[in-house]
């Protein structure tokens, strides 16, 4: 049976989290409602994550990886994975396991009716500063994108691969996935999911890159929205 669903996991300096991540992913693949595979993208890690990922993927047939030569950012990691994906559906999961792969099952029942289904971490298990900076950044994005999503940055999403491949690459891409699907005239849906405290490693985000970075990226989104071209082919002959 061919794979139906690809789980994309961007990784940057998460070596401490990887053993538990691999355990959770292997467990989910056994119970997933769709025949699923995993695509890990190492974004130029400097802590040995890349070699750990490569070894694991060579030993596990349902896992594959892309290894960047240097750190390009999560947006680039996602775009590379979108371009590489062969299945009709794809999902996105962070390596820190603050969201769990099993919750893809909460999103999958809705995907046939929507272009994107995203999680909503309604009860977040983060520090006060992290929650405040995320809430502020989210409010800024809503002001610019009008996507009206409670939790735009939630790292648990499902998309139709065909729509994901049409998303242009730009810095901060991960913050605008719902908005980029809306530009394609597809509907999006938000579903409440579980959220867990980080158990290993440390967050790569702070107030600066949760607020100031997204604010700058919003101007890039406004330009893309104004210039975006979308089309569908009715028929092809010859």
Q: Are strands 5-11 and 36-42 parallel, antiparallel or unpaired?
A: parallel
Helix axes 213-227, 128-145, angle to 10 degrees: 20
pLDDT of residue 59: 96
φ, ψ of residue 87 in degrees (nearest 5) = -80, 160
pLDDT of residue 216: 64
Q: Which two tokens stand for residue 72?
A: 């390009």
Decide: 200 and 17 in contact? Cβ < 8 Å.
yes
Q: Which two tokens stand for residue 198?
A: 């980080």
Helix (H) or strand (E) holding 160: strand 156-160
pLDDT of residue 129: 58
Q: pLDDT per position in the chain (238 positions), as tens? A: 699 999 999 999 999 999 999 999 999 999 999 999 999 999 999 999 999 999 999 999 999 999 999 999 998 999 999 999 999 999 999 999 999 999 999 999 999 999 999 999 887 765 565 655 666 666 666 666 667 777 877 889 999 999 999 988 777 777 778 888 988 889 999 999 998 877 775 665 555 555 556 666 666 666 666 666 665 666 666 6
Domain extent listing, the chain: 5-227
Instruction: Give CA separation, 213 vs 63, 141, 147, 155, 191, in Å.
Output: 32, 11, 19, 17, 26
Q: Is residue 167 packed enough to be buried (19+ CB in 10 Å), middle (13-18) or exposed (0-12)? A: buried
Q: Which two tokens stand for residue 86?
A: 């062969």
pLDDT of residue 168: 81
Decide: 118 and 151 in contact? Cβ < 8 Å.
yes
Q: For domain 5-227, give the fold.
A: Spore Coat Polysaccharide Biosynthesis Protein SpsA; Chain A (3.90.550)
How far, in Å, CA of 195 to CA of 154, rounded?
10
φ, ψ of residue 236 in degrees (nearest 5) = -140, 135
How far, in Å, CA of 211 to CA of 208, rounded?
5
């Amino acid at each position: 049976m061919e794979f139906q669903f690809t789980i994309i996991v961007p990784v940057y300096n998460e070596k401490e989290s990887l053993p538990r991540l691999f355990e959770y992913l292997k467990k989910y693949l056994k119970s997933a409602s769709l025949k699923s595979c995993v695509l890990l993208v190492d974004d130029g890690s400097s802590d040995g994550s890349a070699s750990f990922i490569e070894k694991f993927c060579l030993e596990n047939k349902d896992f594959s990886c892309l290894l960047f030569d240097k750190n390009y950012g999560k947006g680039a990691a996602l775009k590379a994975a979108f371009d590489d994906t062969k299945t009709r559906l794809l999902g996105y999961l962070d390596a820190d396991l603050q969201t769990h792969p099993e919750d893809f099952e909460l999103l999958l029942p809705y995907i046939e009716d929507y272009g994107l289904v995203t999680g909503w971490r309604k009860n977040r298990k983060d520090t006060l500063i992290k929650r405040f900076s995320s809430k502020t950044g989210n409010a800024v994005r809503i002001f610019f994108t009008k996507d009206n999503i409670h939790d735009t940055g939630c790292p648990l999403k499902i998309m139709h691969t065909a729509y994901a491949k049409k998303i242009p690459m730009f810095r901060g891409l991960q913050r605008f996935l719902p908005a980029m699907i809306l530009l394609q005239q597809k509907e999006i849906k938000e579903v409440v999911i579980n959220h867990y405290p980080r158990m290993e490693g440390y967050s790569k985000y702070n107030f600066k890159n949760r607020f100031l970075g997204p604010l700058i990226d919003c101007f890039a989104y406004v330009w893309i929205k104004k210039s975006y071209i979308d089309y569908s082919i009715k028929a092809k002959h010859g």
